[in-house]
Amino acid sequence: MGTKITKKRARLLARLEQIVGSNCYNGSIQNYGPGGSFEGAGRDFRYPLTIVDAVGEKRKKRNPATDETPEALSTGFYSFGANRLHIIKALNEVLDDLEANAGLKI
């Protein structure tokens, strides 16, 4: 990973991840209201962030991971079947790039 993840940077990464993870949509989900009335197709949902703790246990997070240590947060990924998107690593690289090339100060 690029820049060391400080507590301040970890809070920012957790907030950014929450934004990304909250922008998932599935058009196949059918929405039914009270009495079984159809209310339309599709639903937004929060994609769970998987964190691996110090003993190797995997935990799913649906709330912002602002309570995680920088070390635990740095393990955060989205699981897509056999594939993983290392979202925290990717967001940290985006911040590194913005700091290096766009004058972002964190």
The domain in which residue 93 lies consists of: 7-101
Residue 1, in any domain of the structure: no
Residue 17, in any domain of the structure: yes
Of the candidates 81, 83, 78, the residue with the CA atom closest to the CA atom of residue 65: 78
Residue 32, in any domain of the structure: yes
The residues, ordered by sequence, that sit 6+ positions from 90 with a Cβ below 8 Å of its Cβ are none
Residue 91, in any domain of the structure: yes
Give the tens place of pLDDT for each residue, 3-59: 789 999 999 999 999 999 999 988 887 778 788 877 777 788 899 999 998 899 999
Amino acid at the residue 93: E
pTM score over 0.75: yes
Q: How many domains does the chain have?
A: 1
Rg (CA), the chain: 17
Give the tens place of pLDDT for each residue, 67-103: 999 999 999 999 999 999 999 999 999 999 999 999 9
